[in-house]
A and B are shown apart, each in its own frame.
Chain A
Amino acid sequence: MFKLAMNLLVRKCQSSKFAQVNTGYGVVRAIHSKKYLLSLILVLAQPLLTSCSLFDQSVSGSSFDSHLIEQTHSVVALSFEAKGQAGLDRLKQDRTQEFCSTQRGFKGSTSATNALDPQSSQNNSIGQLTEQLRLENLAMIQQPKDGNYLGDFKRGELIAQDGRGKTWTDPQGSVNGGNCYNCHRLSKNEISYGSLGPSLYQYGKLRGITSLDVYLTKVKEGASDPLIQYTWGVLMNSKAYDLCTVMPRFGVTSSASAHEQNSPILTQEQIKDLMSLLLDPRSPVND
């Protein structure tokens, strides 16, 4: 279904030219499997400029040149190698990644409140596709099995400070960090914070959690409280609220890799600690 939708939006270049290149690459790769240098000669030796604009900027700042995308993936396939826990399967994109890769310029929203605003869905095929993918991401979010959404804000601060995990220098299966300070301001005492994402300083306080009583009520209400739902949702899968945000999906994974299928960046327990970091009035974020 997604492929069909993509095809509706794609300006197809002369497919015969690409078939030539593809075959040439396939044959050479079999003979010279280690020599990607030679493979590249045949991939790129064909002039491919007849009907395709290589600087295709078709619909509203997007690029849907499927020919170029395929070519790029071929180049990528012979340019990377597995190392540590980072296997080549990490280069296999899911539909969200595929779609957001076509967006030019910076399309990730810097405001998490862009959430469920119906106006943000454009009334066109791109808008519809965006919404469809967003809802797919929403469906991936699991609620905590024990119904408890909160944890320990002190542990949450450590998780927010820790940027380790999932790189090829990190051991497989090690505990990962959320790396929140890379992009966000959080507690006032930490001045080494990034500016890629909005400030989360006083996150709970600014959203009505002004006393311990209010907080404890929300803790009890859990799933039925909209702020709890929203905050949990964004931490678990940010793409469910803003499809092409640059914020990683911390609690879900749609990785093609078998061993990574059930190992998202953060565990539910870690996300509960982050919830408390953001919402608990006693947390340093809310002073």
Chain B
Amino acid sequence: MLCILGIYALTGSAQTPQPKDTTDAALAQYRQMLQEANPADLYVAKGQALWAQARGPKAQSLRTCDLGLGPGVVKGAWVRLPRYFSDTGRVQDLESRLITCMHDIQGFDEQELIDLDFSKGERLTIAQLAAYVSSESEGMPFNVPQTNPVEREMYAIGQELFYMRAGTHDFSCASCHTQDGRRIRLQDLPNLSTPAGAGFAFGTWPAYRISTGSIWSMQQRLADCFRQQRFPKPKFASPATIALSVYLGVNASGQVAQAPGLKR
């Protein structure tokens, strides 16, 4: 029953960090209570099991996967992504890095993973792994690196893409996400060009979406944004999506990670 009530509460306003009045404060308190009931925890548990399980053509676990802090180090890795990886020679976000590990260590086909639909088969695996990895950075501040020139380049490209207007509706990310205190219908819009807004958005995905009853990673969230912008579809873990994550992650510097989150 609480889950049903949750739907009604979360289709109300105020998903931004600062409660504006008593109604918002009450909603924030209710949402805090619901955090203990986040079904994303079920996917974290699944992801944790999948990480340790011998899988794929090579029948290996992901325990030697390097997410940036060394092979097998999961704790704290998520708040330092996306970052440059010397073995692949490029900047990678979490999903992209999971593909690399699933291919290199477990023998899965990279292109097959990219071509799949969200929430299906091994793509669901990736979302569950993402839920697990992100939960291991819960409570830590974002510290997405900009020490490598390619990382800085990706930030600049991400920023350009953030402001790029295109498509039938002339929308860019900035069209909806560069103001404080605005909303679409009753859904509050975080200002992604600011630390607080970027921290809230980047720090609460992966998230369990009550309306779809599924776990969504940031890649899926970005893809659905582009769909609503009337753009064509971004390829999974493509450079453009990684560049946007760099832009968001760097903007979120110092903000506390809360993933996996709970969304309407």
- B contact residues around A96 at 8 Å (CB): 170
Query: Given the complex of chains A and B, what is the CA–CA distance between A124 and B237 in angstroms?
Result: 42
Knowing A90-B232, A192-B185, the reply to whether A45 touches B168 (Cβ < 8 A) is: no
Chain A residue nearest to B155 (CB atoms) is A54
Pick the interface stretch among B16-24, B69-77, B119-127, B172-180: B172-180
> Is the beta-carbon distance between B168 and A47 smaller than 8 angstroms?
no
- A contact residues around B155 at 8 Å (CB): 54
Chain B residue nearest to A40 (CB atoms) is B239
Query: Given the complex of chains A and B, what is the CA–CA distance between A165 and B183 in angstroms?
Result: 21
Pick the interface stretch among A99-107, A112-120, A139-147: A99-107
- A contact residues around B110 at 8 Å (CB): 37
> Is the beta-carbon distance between B239 and A81 smaller than 8 angstroms?
no
> Is the beta-carbon distance between A44 and B165 smaller than 8 angstroms?
no
Knowing A34-B111, A166-B230, the reply to whether A182 touches B165 (Cβ < 8 A) is: no
Cβ 8 A contact of A93, one of B89, B160, B165: B165
- B contact residues around A91 at 8 Å (CB): 166-167, 231-232
Query: Given the complex of chains A and B, what is the CA–CA distance between A258 and B183 in angstroms?
Result: 34
Cβ 8 A contact of B90, one of A34, A44, A79, A93: A44
Knowing A36-B239, A97-B166, the reply to whether A194 touches B233 (Cβ < 8 A) is: no
**B140 lies within 8 A of chain A by Cβ:** no
- B contact residues around A82 at 8 Å (CB): 232-233
Cβ 8 A contact of A194, one of B149, B184, B193: B184
**A208 lies within 8 A of chain B by Cβ:** no
> Is the beta-carbon distance between A196 and B182 smaller than 8 angstroms?
yes
Residues of B120-168 whose CB lies within 8 A of A: 149-150, 152-157, 160-161, 163-168
* Binary contact track A26-54/B, C-beta < 8 Å → 1, others 0: 00000000101100110111011100001
- A contact residues around B150 at 8 Å (CB): 44-45
- Nearest CB of B to A130, in Å: 14
Knowing A106-B178, A194-B183, the reply to whether A75 touches B171 (Cβ < 8 A) is: no
- Nearest CB of B to A13, in Å: 12
Chain A residue nearest to B11 (CB atoms) is A192
> Is the beta-carbon distance between B233 and A81 smaller than 8 angstroms?
yes
Q: For chain A, give the interface size range.
A: 35 or more
> What residues make up the interface of A, taking CB atoms closer than 8 Å to B?
34, 36-37, 40-41, 43-45, 47-49, 54-55, 63, 68-69, 71-72, 75-76, 78-83, 86-88, 90-93, 96-97, 100-106, 108, 166-169, 181-183, 192-196, 239, 246, 248-249, 253, 255, 260, 265
Knowing A91-B166, A260-B168, the reply to whether A54 touches B156 (Cβ < 8 A) is: yes
Query: Given the complex of chains A and B, what is the CA–CA distance between A227 and B96 in angstroms?
Result: 53
Query: Given the complex of chains A and B, what is the CA–CA distance between A92 and B243 in angstroms?
Result: 19
Query: Given the complex of chains A and B, what is the CA–CA distance between A40 and B235 in angstroms?
Result: 14
**B195 lies within 8 A of chain A by Cβ:** no
- Nearest CB of A to B245, in Å: 12
> Is the beta-carbon distance between B163 and A265 smaller than 8 angstroms?
no
- B contact residues around A100 at 8 Å (CB): 165, 170
- A contact residues around B235 at 8 Å (CB): 36, 79-81
- Nearest CB of A to B85, in Å: 11
- Nearest CB of A to B120, in Å: 16
Closest 10 CB pairs of A and B: A79-B240, A79-B238, A54-B156, A72-B160, A83-B233, A248-B169, A246-B175, A97-B165, A106-B178, A86-B232
- Nearest CB of B to A125, in Å: 20
Cβ 8 A contact of A166, one of B154, B169, B189, B241: B169
> Is the beta-carbon distance between A93 and B233 smaller than 8 angstroms?
no
Chain A residue nearest to B179 (CB atoms) is A106
Knowing A41-B89, A81-B233, A90-B167, the reply to whether A167 touches B228 (Cβ < 8 A) is: yes
- A contact residues around B170 at 8 Å (CB): 96-97, 100, 239, 246, 248-249
Cβ 8 A contact of B168, one of A44, A88, A106, A253: A253
**B58 lies within 8 A of chain A by Cβ:** no
- Nearest CB of A to B118, in Å: 13
> Is the beta-carbon distance between A167 and B152 smaller than 8 angstroms?
no
Query: Given the complex of chains A and B, what is the CA–CA distance between A192 and B185 in angstroms?
Result: 5
**B227 lies within 8 A of chain A by Cβ:** yes
Query: Given the complex of chains A and B, what is the CA–CA distance between A43 and B231 in angstroms?
Result: 23
- A contact residues around B149 at 8 Å (CB): 47-49
> Is the beta-carbon distance between A75 and B184 smaller than 8 angstroms?
no
> Is the beta-carbon distance between A195 and B183 smaller than 8 angstroms?
yes
Cβ 8 A contact of B186, one of A40, A169, A192: A192
> Is the beta-carbon distance between A78 and B182 smaller than 8 angstroms?
no
- B contact residues around A68 at 8 Å (CB): 156-157, 160
